[in-house]
């Protein structure tokens, strides 16, 4: 038996707070059906692809309305995609609701992600097993995986597994792509008349799975607080040693929510936001010039140190890089049929072949990049056919280019300081952290609520808990149809239905809060040191949520 830390032991005892009506117990819930929904974009295509689950109403639980049925139900649960703090509590909440509704109900956990349900590889949860994982980080309770459930063969295998175990509902805990697959599975199960429901739960530390009904994805709160602690420590070190510039790349492939939230918590000298770069059509040169200007001015003032935050997906938002990478993705999707490419003896030969297939402007951008970055761009694609931006060392590319500019300025007598750099990438450090009180409570409610949706008889829904800046007793539980969030996007060279990612809104309150103070932070060292996540103590310390959620909810309240 593994040895547990004192904190781990104490967290196992924590009793998560349940959302609003859910706290009255699963047997006392009623369901209300609100307005019917459409799709966020490409409505006709989404309706055609998902005719059995399209235009369903938003669901909200309360003490009045239609009573939910508590007939015996076996449920399967899958953890899909990258880890996020709180996943264990989603499963614990689901299990507790299921057993409270009927002690004969069973919960099956499929091992290693979606492939587990295809292969019929599972465990049956028990009280003692669940109790070992309550309020803990990670997905090790059953493991996760990135298999995409999208083929007829996979759907048939999933149905076979469910029939063998008498499972009548599946809960998929995942991000936008995982819940896109949940939507496809729900449509197939409904189309075939199987009676098997599919419910999703919104997970991703990137914070890009949200809308009016999903205020925040779980794990974002804990992950950003974890990164903020680390960056606060680095800021303290930088302010002590006064001789290093720290370039910190932060996880967030498509959206900059993580970087934006961490910037508001710590107040660094430079914060790049990918969505701003794209809107302003900033070139790589423009970004380097902006950063160099701040570094040079600080150096000339005797401040040869600082902290710069860089979003993981930045490189794909730089216009000339985005266009080039899109072209590269299309080329690499079919290049395996090119004998010359597959038989190339050197990387240089591969570069030449790639460039020959590009339009001149894209070929020129690709040609100008350092070999290190070219090699990283040609690595295996992710499951969606896109470049793996986490493996592109954007921070090192920027450091190299900034160093060149500073050398030029020094020769011209315009830079009298010194420049020493440190590169960091914070990603995995936050994915499995012990969940904050907020994420522990939120995730437990999401799981409990997922079973309420199953009991209500709906399918193709995402578990939704709203009003999250209020105390848990005021949270609102319900569900939102997955098709409401869908649109068509290009993947592997073809248009496919996917849940639309929520990017940083540059006219929104969160970015505006950064924009208002960014100039001041650049030069005046307003560093904030958040410290470690607190689990015990006054609510104003232990239960605080992210600035992102607080600012967005305040803006919504003001608009009403």
Other C-beta atoms lying within 10 Å of the C-beta of residue 357: 17
Query: How is residue 203 annotated by DSSP?
Result: B
Q: Which residue has the tokens 């309020």?
A: 135
Please provide the DSSP assignment of 74-95 as one string.
EEEEEEBSS--TTHHHHHHHHH
Q: What is the three-class DSSP state of 453? A: helix
Can you name the residues that pair with 479 across neighbouring β-strands?
59, 463
* Alpha helices, DSSP H, located in 280-377: 284-300, 319-334, 339-342, 347-357, 360-368, 371-377
For residue 206, indicate whether it is catalytic.
yes
Q: Give the Å distances, CA to CA, from 459 to 1, 34, 66, 179, 339.
A: 40, 16, 17, 12, 47
The number of C-alpha atoms within 13 Å of 149 and in the hemisphere containing its C-beta is 33
Q: Measure the CA–CA gap between 264 and 242, rounded to whole angstroms.
A: 22
CB-based contact 552:264 (threshold 8 Å): no
Tokens 């239609």 correspond to what residue? Answer: 66
- Per the residue annotation, which of 96, 176, 177, 206 is the catalytic one? 206
H-helix or E-strand spanning residue 60 = strand 57-62
- Close Cβ partners of 352 (under 8 Å, ≥ 6 residues apart): none
Packing angle of the helix pair 509-524, 257-266 (nearest 10 deg): 50
Q: Which residues contact 343 (CB under 8 A, 6 or more apart)?
A: none
Q: What six digits make up the tokens of 331?
A: 């080329």
Active-site residues: which are they?
Answer: 206
């Amino acid at each position: 038996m593994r040895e547990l830390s004192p904190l781990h032991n104490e967290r196992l005892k924590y009793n998560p707070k349940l959302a609003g009506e859910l706290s009255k117990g699963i047997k006392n819930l009623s369901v209300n059906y609100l307005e019917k929904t459409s799709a966020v974009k490409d409505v006709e295509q989404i309706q055609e692809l998902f005719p059995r689950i399209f235009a369903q109403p938003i669901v909200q639980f309360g003490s009045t309305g239609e009573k939910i049925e508590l007939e015996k139900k076996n449920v399967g649960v899958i953890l899909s995609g990258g880890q996020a703090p709180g996943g264990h509590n989603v499963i614990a909440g689901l299990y507790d609701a299921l057993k409270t509704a009927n002690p004969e109900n069973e919960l099956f956990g499929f091992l290693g992600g979606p492939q587990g349900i295809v292969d019929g590889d599972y465990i049956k949860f028990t009280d003692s097993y669940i109790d070992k994982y309550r309020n803990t980080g990670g997905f090790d309770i059953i493991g996760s995986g990135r298999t995409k459930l999208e083929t007829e063969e996979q759907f048939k295998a999933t149905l076979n597994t469910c029939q063998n175990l008498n499972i009548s509902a599946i809960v998929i805990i995942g991000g936008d792509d995982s819940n896109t697959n949940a939507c496809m599975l729900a449509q197939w199960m409904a189309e075939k008349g199987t009676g098997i429901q599919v419910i999703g739960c919104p997970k991703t530390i990137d914070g890009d799975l949200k809308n009016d009904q999903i205020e925040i994805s779980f794990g974002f709160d804990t992950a950003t607080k974890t990164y903020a602690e680390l960056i606060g420590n680095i800021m303290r070190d930088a302010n002590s040693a006064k001789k290093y510039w720290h370039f910190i790349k932060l996880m967030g492939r498509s959206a900059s929510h993580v970087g934006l939230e961490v910037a508001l918590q710590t107040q660094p000298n430079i914060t790049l936001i990918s969505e701003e770069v794209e809107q302003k059509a900033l070139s790589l040169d423009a970004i380097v010039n902006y950063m160099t200007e701040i570094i040079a001015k600080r150096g000339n003032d005797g401040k040869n140190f600082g902290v710069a935050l860089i979003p993981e997906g930045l490189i794909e938002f730089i216009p000339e890089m985005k266009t080039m990478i899109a072209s590269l993705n299309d080329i690499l999707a079919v290049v395996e049929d090119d004998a010359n490419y597959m038989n190339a003896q050197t990387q240089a030969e591969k570069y030449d072949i790639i460039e020959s297939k590009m339009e001149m402007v894209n070929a020129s951008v690709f040609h100008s990049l350092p070999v290190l970055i070219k090699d990283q761009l040609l690595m295996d694609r992710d499951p969606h056919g896109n470049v793996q931006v986490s493996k592109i060392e954007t921070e090192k590319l920027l450091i190299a280019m900034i160093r060149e500019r500073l050398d030029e300025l020094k020769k011209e007598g315009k830079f009298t300081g010194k420049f020493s750099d440190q590169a960091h990438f914070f990603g995995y450090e936050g994915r499995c952290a012990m969940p904050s009180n907020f994420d522990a409570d939120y995730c437990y409610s999401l799981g409990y609520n997922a079973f309420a949706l199953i009991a209500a008889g709906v399918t193709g829904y995402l578990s939704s808990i709203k009003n999250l800046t209020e105390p848990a007793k005021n949270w609102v539980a319900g569900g939102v149809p997955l098709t409401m969030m869908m649109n068509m996007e290009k993947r592997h060279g073809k248009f496919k239905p996917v849940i639309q990612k929520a990017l940083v809104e540059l006219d929104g309150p969160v970015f505006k809060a950064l924009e208002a103070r960014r100039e001041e932070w650049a030069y005046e060292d307003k560093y904030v040191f958040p410290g470690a996540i607190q689990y015990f103590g006054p609510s104003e310390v232990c239960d605080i949520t992210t600035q992102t959620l607080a600012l967005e909810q305040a803006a919504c309240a003001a608009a009403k």
